[in-house]
């Protein structure tokens, strides 16, 4: 596919680039009038229009299914608004807050749980950002600040450095975590100035990359990630479990290995949230648990993310992976358990004494 120099943010551009057939233009226009649309050149070049099941296209090309919400879905599926004391802050957990200085992204994932907000709301004003930082400063229990959005790395290096400097001046904030998709969707924007902007004296900075398929890791994407790691910034990952993208053990395992090879520790595997118009991406929880069983034992422990559900209503994340242990009862005064190994075989723990002893 030819290289696209600018992002594709209008339906007719998708048609012109050969990513969508002309017969689907009206459909894409209807979806784009409801939810934000943007693909970077790097993402567009990964899509194979001839493949009706292309996992990259499935993440970024609008379809009419997005306009058919499920009755269980909600505009605020994880309850952010219940924990928003001031604009730009979500304070759900005691020791950490989410700071969202911007609501735009380089690309818009079609399954985004903040799809009612991203690409629609303005960035925080100078006054709003000041109030958000004052909130963090006034809450000494806040040990970690998570920069999210939108994608905070779409900000200029100068603006990002200003935010990092302001957080650096708050003594009780010890960790700054940056959530981003940029290294895999626009790797050329991860330059040395951007990497330097994430340094904050006396703070530990982590970058958490959102990636869902191994094909996202082009040589340029790997190089962008390496710039963070080689600057001393550890990287973690978060992945959304998506039907037709990564919902089989081979595909998911390949992604986890590529992450580890890129010096990125798999962190979260998210069960897809109940955002409007996203039912066609969600798997069953049982299917996700089975995938985790298939990864366990067959892939290195480094490749094991935590499978989590963000409980609707603002109740936070809970791990929902399979359980490998259950009480079996008390024998000879000892509480024993039945433990399942990665082959599915079951064992008693502690093991009973050998017969005849």
Q: What is the mean pLDDT of each run of 10 residues along the chain (357 residues)?
A: 68 97 97 97 96 96 95 95 97 98 96 93 93 98 97 97 97 98 98 96 96 98 98 98 98 98 98 97 97 95 98 96 93 91 92 75
Single pTM value for the model = 0.94
Q: How far apart are CA 8 and CA 270, in angstroms?
A: 27
Q: Which residues pair with 206 in a beta bridge?
A: 177
Active-site residue flag, 317 = yes
Residue length, the chain? 357
**What is the 8-class DSSP label of residue 190?**
-
User: Per DSSP, which regions of the chain are E strands?
Assistant: 89-93, 96-99, 144-147, 175-180, 204-210, 235-241, 264-271, 306-311, 316-319, 325-331, 334-340, 346-349
Catalytic-labelled residue, pool 35, 42, 54, 92: 92
For residue 356, count CB atoms less than 10 angstroms from its CB and return exposed for 0-12, middle for 13-18, buried for 19 or more: exposed
Tokens coding 150: 């939108």
Active-site residue flag, 114 = yes
Q: How far apart are CA 69 and CA 38, in angstroms?
A: 21
Catalytic-labelled residue, pool 93, 267, 324, 337: 93
Q: Which residues pair with 270 in a beta bridge?
A: 240, 308
Catalytic-labelled residue, pool 84, 317, 328, 336: 317
Catalytic-labelled residue, pool 58, 105, 110, 215: 105
Q: 33: Cβ–Cβ under 8 A, 6 or more apart, which residues?
A: none
Predicted pLDDT of residue 332: 82
Active-site residue flag, 310 = yes
Active-site residue flag, 96 = yes
Nearest to 125 by CA among 84, 91, 157, 159: 159
Q: Are 124 and 153 in contact (CB under 8 A)?
A: no
Q: How far apart are CA 206 and CA 101, in angstroms?
A: 17
Q: Which residues pair with 327 in a beta bridge?
A: 337
Q: How far apart are CA 43 and CA 91, in angstroms?
A: 33
**What is the 8-class DSSP label of residue 123?**
P
Catalytic-labelled residue, pool 273, 282, 303, 307: 273
**What is the 8-class DSSP label of residue 144?**
E
Q: How far apart are CA 141 and CA 208, in angstroms?
A: 22
Q: How far apart are CA 41 and CA 306, in angstroms?
A: 32
Active-site residue flag, 24 = no
Q: How far apart are CA 90 and CA 98, in angstroms?
A: 5
Catalytic-labelled residue, pool 54, 108, 110, 114: 114
Q: 267: Cβ–Cβ under 8 A, 6 or more apart, which residues?
A: 208, 236, 237, 238, 305, 306
**What is the 8-class DSSP label of residue 124?**
P
Active-site residue flag, 303 = no
Helices (H), 145-218: 157-168, 182-185, 192-197
Active-site residue flag, 307 = no
Could you check whether the bond before residue 202 is cis, i.e. omega within 30 degrees of 0? no
Collapse the DSSP code of 299 into the 3-class scheme (helix H, G, I; strand E, B; otherwise coil) and give the result.
strand
For residue 252, count CB atoms less than 10 angstroms from its CB and return exposed for 0-12, middle for 13-18, buried for 19 or more: buried
Predicted pLDDT of residue 5: 62
Catalytic-labelled residue, pool 35, 76, 112, 181: 112
Active-site residue flag, 273 = yes
- b/e map 185-206, b = 16+ CB within 10 Å: bbbebbeeebbebbbbeebebb
Predicted pLDDT of residue 120: 83
Active-site residue flag, 112 = yes
Catalytic-labelled residue, pool 42, 58, 108, 109: 109
Active-site residue flag, 336 = no
């Amino acid at each position: 596919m030819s290289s696209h120099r600018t992002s594709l943010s209008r339906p007719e551009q998708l048609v012109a680039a050969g990513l969508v057939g002309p017969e689907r233009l009206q459909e894409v226009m209807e979806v784009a009038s409801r939810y934000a649309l943007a693909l970077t050149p790097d993402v567009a070049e990964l899509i194979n229009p001839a493949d009706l099941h292309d996992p990259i296209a499935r993440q970024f090309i609008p379809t009419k299914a997005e306009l058919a919400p499920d009755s269980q879905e909600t505009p605020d599926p994880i309850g952010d608004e219940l924990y928003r004391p001031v604009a730009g802050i979500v304070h759900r957990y005691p020791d950490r807050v989410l700071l969202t200085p911007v609501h735009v992204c380089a690309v818009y994932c079609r399954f985004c749980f903040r799809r009612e907000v991203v690409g629609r709301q303005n960035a925080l004003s100078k006054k709003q950002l000041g109030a958000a930082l004052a909130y963090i400063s006034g809450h000494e229990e806040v040990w970690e600040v998570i920069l999210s959005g939108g994608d905070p790395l779409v900000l200029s290096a100068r603006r990002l450095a200003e935010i990092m400097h302001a957080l650096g001046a708050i003594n009780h904030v010890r960790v700054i975590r940056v959530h981003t998709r940029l290294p895999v969707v626009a790797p050329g924007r991860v330059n040395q100035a951007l990497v330097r902007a994430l340094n904050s004296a006396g703070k530990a900075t982590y970058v958490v990359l959102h990636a869902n398929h191994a094909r996202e890791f082009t040589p340029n994407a790997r190089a962008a990630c390496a710039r963070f790691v080689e600057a001393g910034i550890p990287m973690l990952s978060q992945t959304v479990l998506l039907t037709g993208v990564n919902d089989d053990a081979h595909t998911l395992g390949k992604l986890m290995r590529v992450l580890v090879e890129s010096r990125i520790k798999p962190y979260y595997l998210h069960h897809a949230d109940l955002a409007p118009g996203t039912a066609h991406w969600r798997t069953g929880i049982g299917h996700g648990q089975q995938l985790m069983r298939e990864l366990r034992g067959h892939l290195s422990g480094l490749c094991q993310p935590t499978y989590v559900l963000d409980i609707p209503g603002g109740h936070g994340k809970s791990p929902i992976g399979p359980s490998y242990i259950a009480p079996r009862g008390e024998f000879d005064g000892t509480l024993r358990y039945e433990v399942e190994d990665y082959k599915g075989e079951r064992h008693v723990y502690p093991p009973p004494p050998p017969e005849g002893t």
